[in-house]
Amino acid sequence: MTSITAIINGKSITAEAGMTILQAARANGIHIPTLCDHPAVSPFGACRICLVEAERNPKLLTACTTPITDGMVVNTNTPRVIEARKAVLELILVRHPLECFSCSSNGKCELQDVAYELGVKDSRFADPGDTNTSHELEDANPFYVRDLNKCILCGRCVRVCEEHAIYHAIDFQGRGIHTSIQPPVGSPIEDSDCVFCGQCVQVCPVGALFEKTSVGQGRPWDLEKVKTICSYCGVGCELDINVNKKTGKIANVTTNYSSPTALNKGRSCVKGRFAWQFVHSEDRLTTPLIREGDTFRKASWDEALSLVAEQLGEIKTKHGSDALGFFSSARCTNEENFLMQRLAREVMGTNNVDHCAHL
């Protein structure tokens, strides 16, 4: 691919032709704050936080949508740029309640981070009654809550729904201060095309969308991400298990849109993202059990496996291979199910293998 050279903040940088100013800056370790930009979705230019100054251009440019050109001279932190970003942020804060202490996104809120970076505490443009408080908290959904009073209209949720989930379950509705993200007019979210994959929840930069399953499970600074493979089917989607370091329990499940090893590229179904509570179920077996009469006793893996192997062998010898049947699980990986059918066919000599694909 063709390379170009440009200057950002007095530093000569190399970028690929077709990159935006924001992409080129990030590739060269130069920070530009953003709110509507996300690696999962196409550039949108909605929030205007990424404004930069380019020589021979009278207007400030949005770094996320403006292509960088050969020889371009860009400045990302001039007084003019900083003042413009502060003004834009204060306009966003006109409709956003400053309730950070009680917000579920406190500590991971990108609006909070940008406000801290720019030193903005409130909005000089706000008048009494301007803050958006007319929306009722929507918590009928079993998986996540929508608090549209905190929505900053960045459009991330709309774009990820259309571009990654390949649905169009939500869009901008209304005008001016009354604009909000909603399903098609007259259609409740439960009757829309929404499949509750939760991608809109993950890309939300503020507290307008948050998972019910994660409430009270730990603050962002308490969590450690552990990469794993989803156990619900054989596709092999990569998940990030957010474990509370204090309790050792799962607090949330997210995905990484930038992971080079994730075949799902950040996507997940409703089960993979929200249905992880079985891990900590009190009914879950954590050790093998061996039946003795009408009761079960705990056993070691070695003892249990030896007993299973012995009795399978006895049944095969006495009644033949087809007296045996093997049942696998859609919660296992393709590789594990492949090994199960090899055990059945090659070791025990039977084709009686089934799979709970309806799970």
Q: What is the pLDDT of residues 285-338, one digit of tens each?
A: 889 999 999 999 999 999 999 999 999 999 999 999 999 999 988 777 778 889
Q: How far apart are CA 99 and CA 178, in angstroms?
A: 20
Neighbours of 77 (CB within 10 A): 14
3-77, which class in CATH?
alpha beta
Each domain of the chain, given as residue ranges in start order, spans: 3-77, 124-214, 220-280, 289-355
Q: What kind of fold does domain 124-214 have according to CATH?
A: Alpha-Beta Plaits (3.30.70)
For 248, the token pair is 């050792």
Whole-structure pTM over 0.85, yes or no? no
Q: Which fold has domain 220-280?
A: N-terminal domain of TfIIb (2.20.25)
Query: 174-215 pLDDT, tens per residue?
Result: 887 788 898 876 555 556 788 899 999 999 999 999 999 888
Helix, strand, coil distribution of the chain in percent, nearest 5: 30, 20, 50
> Under DSSP, is residue 172 helix (H, G, I), strand (E, B) or coil?
strand
